[in-house]
Structure 1
């Protein structure tokens, strides 16, 4: 079946590339390489229907329905968990990607206002969606536990990870990294600093190791998020006590992925993920990753990354210490991780998304 123009949620197209924004760009590239013509709607300044100064929510609720009526698109694909129009646009089927249900599963990790927005809007999106794509079986199960009426309209389509291959450090990135004077061996955490990501467990493990005379340098890369103040305050206290912790904040891809390549070990003990892309990115780049036993990370990383419980600081300390001491073990996990991550490609994601479009259009 020929796929005509697809109206594509571009609300994060012009924003800093993280999470759903990365998914947006990589999926669009994969679909367009397969001949799908996308109409990018709702970007801030680019695309076919820029929203300008209008907020994302106001655009979807106010302007998007009319834009869809005028677009001639065969279907509309919303990419941000719940952001479908509240009413159906006649003749335009709806597809939505759900990445996770964390605001419902862990309401303490988001603002009260966002929790209620997510809950109400997701429920409505489930009602109006013709097809729901979940990025993992874990997310699918979470969704169906709360919305069993969606059974039969849900498909699992994994993210890709091969986008990391194209990012090499430019001169500015190399200058920045030289200025950091990073040690030859260090542990890296990359992601936001909110409570759910469980960075405190990494700090607990480092304190245990330092108490045994085994000081471990740590590099933190990621943006501030809801509830990140506690982690930032603790990092400053530990630095004052002599811990080597470099908090580099949000970094562009050229720096971000080069840090992943250079790290001895990547740690990601998140309490919950709907997919968990950062450890898979590290694995693709040949860096051994340590993950948690909860959420989708066991599903996504499989047996190619050692896992610890999200409350097991001693266990994390032991695995970090073991990997830093053994080049052979680091090599084992690096090779296993790279083999495993090779299966997660944006080409496969695009093919399966295109199959979902075809299913919807076939009626």
Structure 2
């Protein structure tokens, strides 16, 4: 029987992180048993230069004890220290002289020794998550390793290469190529990490599974440019769509008081859900709503998302805005329960991103009956079809006019009703991914889910 090995290292190690990739990994892994069918699906992680089978992806009660919490905190501290060490190791004089690099490494070992000893002591006492929730796993030739998690950390490269040399087929899941196609939106360090990873994976992967048809086409074009069209054609290229369930939502948990108060007023509330960073283009939203407010609109803009990078001026603009707390609101620490509440009580979602690999908030909103307005991007057309309203990123007035039309008529300004739109759940998403790996080039069931 074919074995598919789904790599989920970072979610296992950092279960409290809840970005888009972490949400995808958690939900796909949770559906592997029901999606396996004729293949065996095995969640795995990288540790100590080998594979471990994941018995339990997220910690249970055993992870809430003080020693277990201490182990997790120390491990994060140790990882952060060595990431910082690796960054400075690239500078002069370490890059120029071998002895300087060696001295720098020894100094790092000495500085981190107390943390290393504490981790070892806790590990011997059984508080290592690898002991509690995983076990060593031996891959076999013919297995297929699906790099589902954020696998662009260089410390894993040699292990993947050794597995490939042993006859393991490598499939890379591609969420987007935005650090390559639109590098201006990223810090130099993040851009460098991703670009080095893609340079590496383009020579290691036997196939690619993207999270949308638009990304699949971009990946094929990029590989054709780098490797030549014949080499790109020898690789498998598929795509799958994502589900939308909020898996960390706690039933019955009330939303934050400030959030619930926002929806008690009669004015329409437009919801923007995403990390606050340049690519998400919140400044465009502010421009558009300022135009709408100047024309007499009473609509409210509610921004939900953690604060990211290169956004200090934007955050200051929001907090110092004359409408902040009146018609403009921002929440940076909303959990899944609060997000579910906002989706169910808002009037519409607005998503003004410059570039996306998928656009998970669109599906999360629309599947809950919340209509969406979005940038006129190919991937948004792929998701929403005629059931979304689209605006021009070069002209904030186009969004302002959509807001005013919706506010005046009560009818959402899309070509088709949201009732005509349907989407898949995470079970179907996992089936698409498994099928696309097992049957490369011809993944079944991948219709545009907004069609009827």
Fold agreement, TM-score > 0.5: yes
| 1:114 aligned onto 2:181 | no
> Cα deviations across residues 118-169 of structure 1 (Å, max 9, x unaligned)?
1121121121112210111221222222211433424332333341499575
Does the aligned pair in 1 maintain the 2:240–2:436 contact within 8 Å? no
What are structure 2's unaligned runs of at least 5 residues?
48-52, 58-71, 87-133, 225-230, 441-452
Question: Equivalent residue of 1:187, what SS?
Answer: strand
| 1:100 aligned onto 2:172 | no
Question: Equivalent residue of 2:171, what SS?
Answer: strand
Residue among 34, 42, 45 paired with 1:41: 45
Residue among 210, 216, 223 paired with 1:147: 223
- Output aligned runs, 1:152-301, within 5 Å: 152-164=234-246, 167=249, 170-173=252-255, 177-178=259-260, 180=262, 182-184=264-266, 185-239=268-322, 243-301=326-384
Please provide the CA RMSD for this pair. Answer: 3.3
Does the aligned pair in 2 maintain the 1:7–1:68 contact within 8 Å? no
Q: What TM-score comes out, normalization by structure 2 length? A: 0.68
Q: Which moved more, 1:295-304 or 1:6-15?
A: 6-15
Cα distance in structure 2, aligned partners of 1:318 and 1:270: 18
Question: Equivalent residue of 1:173, what SS?
Answer: coil
Per-residue deviation, 1:232: 0.9
80 and 207 in structure 1: CA distance in 2 versus 1, 3 angstrom threshold:
same
Per-residue deviation, 1:28: 1.0
55 and 153 in structure 1: CA distance in 2 versus 1, 3 angstrom threshold:
farther
What are structure 1's unaligned runs of at least 5 residues?
62-66
Q: 2:21 is matched with which residue?
A: 20
Cα distance in structure 2, aligned partners of 1:108 and 1:182: 40
Cα distance in structure 2, aligned partners of 1:268 and 1:246: 16
178 and 9 in structure 1: CA distance in 2 versus 1, 3 angstrom threshold:
closer
| 1:77 aligned onto 2:146 | yes
Does the aligned pair in 2 maintain the 1:81–1:100 contact within 8 Å? no
Question: Equivalent residue of 1:33, what SS?
Answer: helix
Q: What TM-score comes out, normalization by structure 1 length? A: 0.84
Q: 1:32 is matched with which residue?
A: 33
Does the aligned pair in 2 maintain the 1:8–1:41 contact within 8 Å? yes
Q: 2:418 is matched with which residue?
A: 337
Per-residue deviation, 1:240: 5.8
4 and 104 in structure 1: CA distance in 2 versus 1, 3 angstrom threshold:
closer
